[in-house]
Structure 1
Amino acid sequence: MNTKALKLAAVAATMLEGFSPTEWIPLPSLGLGIRVLLDDGQQQLVATAQTSLDRSADTGSAAEAARIYDAMYPHAGFTWPHLRAITEVEADYFGTSAPITVTLIEPLPGAPVSDQAIADVARASSLAQALATLHSAAPESISEAGFPVEDPSRFQFQILERLDQAAATGRVPADLLQHWEEEFEQVSLWRFLATPIHGAIDETSVYTDQERVLALSGIERLRVSDPAIDLAAASALIDPAAVPTFFSEYRNSRPRADEHVITRAELLAEFAVLDWLLEAVDSGDEEAIQDAGELLSSFNDVLFAKDTAEPSAAPPGPADADNDDATPGAVVLSEESESEPDAGLAAESENVIDEDTEPDETEPTDGIHRP
């Protein structure tokens, strides 16, 4: 039996008054940790023991981010996580090195895009429309709530600083280095107003059905910054053939966007490979350093090939790695639901798996577990 998931279900059963689950189903990790879908016969909630969550993200800020999203985007064509309860459990409960945060949220509709590139025009356009909606809101409520506000000139400085660090490794081809230096040093490129951005678009945070984007998770990274950050991250999820449609739809959906936003997004998409190199250098991973260097060389050859046209999309960057980290005393944050649990249950159930299974344990055959 999956004992970690069973332990999570036991904790979750104590977190919300009036919620007494009778069934639970293990769910994919999505890079967060241990996840289970709980059902008490009247409602379903997703419990997560965040053993793999990036510690630089404040879990509690997800609740505040959801409140800001509710206020800024009351008519959005997509939804986001609504936190119902949160608690912390001691490290020894899950055998981790530090206490673990456990959350209860309403299930999201659809399913994460995962590693399947968005190749169809409909979903690429829907993602562009969702980001255009996010970027069109006024930023004041975000800054007033204490979320980060990044000045365009400061962001440019950080990019050029990373470029200097990468140059010092000797792994960046000279032509590619010069290309980035010339592009990112353009003053006109950085004349724009920072906007609200999602800040964590990836294959686990974009939920879709077969036709459109239904939900965005990872909203605790909300901040005021360059909208090109979201566009660059989103373009990595889209098949290269559909990227022009994505950018075109974004332009059509947000006609007041600054004129250089797409150019910055394309440059930031290229820059993802260089960020991988710097991460590898920081970690001392020689194999990753070698791989990043070879990818930069290949990209340089393609970008500056004498007899071929410039590529329309940058090469993909590496995926983020997972981590690990956990007694009741839950704080109930909200009793109200604005999403549709039944749709979320169907979507979550489609991707059910058992995770964190220990080698000497036996999994039940019916897929439904009762604590």
Structure 2
Amino acid sequence: MSQPPAGPSTPASASESPRTATSGGSAPDAESARERSPLALAALAAVAVPGLDPARLALPQERSADLRVVGVVDTQGRHWEVLETRADATGATLEAEAEVLRRIGRIVDDGRLSFDVPRPAGTLRLEGSYIQVRSHLEGRPIDIDSLRPGPGLSAGLGKALGELHDLPTTVVSEAGLPVYDADDVRTRWLNLLDDAAGTGKVPPSLLARWEVALEDTALWRFRPVVVHGDLAPENVLTAGGAVVAVRGLGQAHVGDPAEDMAWVYASVPVDCLDSIESAYDLARTEGVDRHLRDRAELVSELSLAEWLRHGVRTGSDSIIDDAVAMLTDLADQVGDEPLVEQTGPRLAPVPGVKEPAEPEATTSEVKMVLVEEDADEDADYEGVDDGTDAEADGDGSDAH
């Protein structure tokens, strides 16, 4: 099962207000009281986007609790997606995400990204609903099970994530989405740890394992980056053996790259991780984050605690039971092992033939010679023969 995202809460709305549609003589209340048909949404897309003349409906045709998505192809052959929500929080998320997508889209157009993102084209705010029109992205959701080691799709996934994490953080911060530094991230996990411990349903060995990792300050020295926040196969689109698009950026924020990498380490085949990590590191301009995998593993484990907390807060016994079962399985797997092995500094080997540092078995004897105090002064007089008594010569000169 997929776990709820461990990222930040729903973002605030973006600064730019959408256009508001007005229709003379119409009755918005009556229109919003019933669900609009796909054809009605296609017609509204034509209002939101100048020059969009709908020709036919197309995929996707999707529905969730708070969101409808209808595909439309116009007379120019352009493929669009019309998104409608009646939930204010979802509308604010879509609006903020659109701001992020506009900024990333400009970077794509400059040739600085190897993948595309949806392009917002227009919005409408009718009484009771929010409608947004975006470009449709071609491609298929990434098939994790088909990944193989090497320079193919595994490396492409690592490169795409590295480029995403290397974006300027202003694409998120200027859109009004959350920004967390390293201390903020660590504090949020500590708060979750306290909440999880308070339920009395987390095995003590896991609480101790997580506490040690959270108290290890070396793990939390990282540069905050643009984080996707909701990585899943349906949000990474591929074509021709390459990652061609990334979508689903409604939970984007500035924070710990380990939040995205946790999905990678938990999902992809183990033998593909080296290919992904190598391509990821090459795409990043920052130095290698030595504890990225450690934090990603911690994030993955703490997502179970997040799931438990969600179940407790919503009063869902089924979610609580599910979380407790997974936590018990995890405790059995890891036992008492620490999440991060504590090791001393490792010295690089010195090339060449190693020789023992002990002294040789046979040494030359050094003869000790007693040196008189006046010997150094006598040596300063040139022309004085060995054995000459300088003090006696001085007395003789006084006699004359």
The residue number in structure 2 matching 1:273 is: 304
Does 2:122 align with 1:85? yes
C-alpha distance in structure 2 between counterparts of 1:4 and 1:237, whole Å: 37
Contact 1:129-1:253 at 8 Å conserved across structures = yes
Tell me the residue number matched to 1:211: 241
Distance 1:72 1:13 in 2: 27
CA drift at 1:117: 4.5
Alignment of 1:29-178 (within 5 A): 29=62, 33-42=67-76, 43-50=78-85, 55=90, 58-73=93-108, 74=110, 75-90=112-127, 99-113=128-142, 117=145, 119-121=147-149, 122-140=152-170, 142-178=172-208
C-alpha distance in 2, partners of 1:101/1:234? 33
What secondary structure is seen at the aligned counterpart in 2 of 1:58? Answer: helix
Query: What residue identity is the alignment partner of 1:120?
Result: R
Greater mean deviation of Cα atoms: 124-133 or 294-303: 124-133
1:140 positional shift: 4.3
Conserved 8 A contact 2:209-2:336: no
- Conservation of the 8 A alpha-carbon contact between 1:76 and 1:133: yes
Structure 1 unaligned runs (5+)?
Answer: 91-98, 311-371
**Which stretch has the larger CA shift, 170-179 or 50-59?**
50-59
Aligned to 2:220: 190
Which protein, 1 or 2, shows the higher relative CO under an 8 Å CA cutoff with sep ≥ 6? Answer: 1
Tell me how far 1:56 sits from its aligned partner: 8.2
**TM-superposition CA deviations, 1:344-371 (whole Å, max 9, x none):** xxxxxxxxxxxxxxxxxxxxxxxxxxxx
Return closer, same or farther for 1:102/1:237 CA change in 2, 3 Å cut-off. farther
Letter in 1 for 2:116: T
TM-score where L is the length of structure 1:
0.72
In structure 1, distance between residues paired with 2:336 and 2:292: 26
User: 1:252, CA displacement in angstroms?
Assistant: 3.9
1:289 equivalent in structure 2: 320
Report the Cα distance in structure 2 between the residues aligned to 1:178 and 1:219, rounded to whole angstroms: 34
Runs of 4+ aligned structure 1 residues displaced above 4 Å come to 51-54
Tell me if the contact between 2:70 and 2:83 (Cα under 8 Å) persists in the aligned partners.
yes
Give the letter aligned to residue 39 of structure 2. Answer: L
Choose 156-165 or 7-16, whichever is displaced more. Answer: 7-16
Write the deviation string for residues 122-147 of structure 1: whole angstroms up to 9, x where unpaired. 32321211111122233345434433
Residue 255 of structure 2 is matched in structure 1 by 225
Q: Which moved more, 1:56-65 or 1:12-21?
A: 56-65
1:5 to 38, 63, 85: 38
CA contact (8 A) 1:123 1:210 kept: no
Q: Which amino acid aligns with 2:113?
A: A
Q: What is the CA distance between 1:118 and its match in structure 2?
A: 5.5
What is the aligned length? 297
How far apart, in 2, do the equivalents of 1:77 and 1:292 lie? 38
Name the residue aligned to 1:324: none
Distance 2:86 2:274 in 1: 38
| Alignment-mate amino acid for residue 104 of structure 2 | Y
In structure 2, what is the Cα distance between the partners aligned to 1:257 and 1:271?
24
Change in Cα spacing, 1:230 to 1:247, as seen in structure 2 (3 Å) is same
1:119 counterpart letter in structure 2: L
2:62–2:70 CA contact under 8 A, matched in 1:
no
Partners of 2:225 and 2:256 within 8 A in 1: yes
Please tell me the residue identity of whatever aligns with 1:76.
L
| Offset at residue 30 of structure 1 (A) | 7.5
Cα deviation per residue 1:227-286 (whole Å; 9 max; x = unaligned)?
A: 111211344442444344323432343361332122211211222211111111111110
The offset of 1:220, in angstroms, is 4.0
- CA distance in 1: counterparts of 2:205 and 2:117, whole angstroms: 42
Summarize the alignment of residues 321-336 of structure 1 with structure 2, pairs less than 5 Å apart.
Answer: none
User: How far off is 1:305 after superposition?
Assistant: 8.2
> What TM-score comes out, normalization by structure 2 length?
0.67
SS of the aligned residue for 1:138 comes to coil
Secondary structure of the equivalent of 1:204?
Answer: helix
**Alpha-carbon distance, 1:50 to partner:** 3.4
Which amino acid in 2 is paired with 1:112? P
Once the 2 structures are TM-superposed, how far is the Cα of residue 210 of structure 1 from its aligned partner?
5.1
Residue 24 (1) aligns with residue 52 (2):
no
The 1:256/1:236 distance shift into structure 2, 3 A limit, reads same
- 2-11 or 186-195, which moves further after superposition? 2-11
Tell me, yes or no, if the aligned pair for 2:105 and 2:116 is still in contact at 8 Å.
no
Aligned-residue sequence identity (percent) comes to 28
1 CA distance for matches of 2:88 and 2:140?
A: 19
CA-atom RMSD in angstroms: 2.8
The aligned residue for residue 332 of structure 1 is none
